[in-house]
Amino acid sequence: MGLSEPFGGRIFKGTVQQSPGLLQGIRSTLTIGAEFAFRVGRDLRGDEHDFSGDSIVAVIDAVYPALELNRPDFTKPMEMGGLCLIADNGVNVGLVLGAPIADWQHVDLARQAVSFAVNDTVKSNGMATDIGFDPIAAVAWLANDRARRGEPLRGGQLVSSGDLILNVEANVNDRVVADFGKFGMVLLNLQDDG
CA gap 92, 31 in Å, rounded = 10
Q: Say what the pTM is.
A: 0.89
pLDDT digits (tens, 9 = 90+) for 126-185: 999 988 889 999 999 999 999 999 999 999 999 999 899 999 999 999 999 999 999 999
CA gap 78, 124 in Å, rounded = 19
Question: How far is the first Cα of the chain from the last one, in angstroms, to the nearest whole number?
Answer: 37
pLDDT digits (tens, 9 = 90+) for 9-48: 778 888 899 999 998 877 778 889 999 999 999 999 989 8
CA 71, 73, 78, 81: dihedral to nearest 10 degrees?
-130
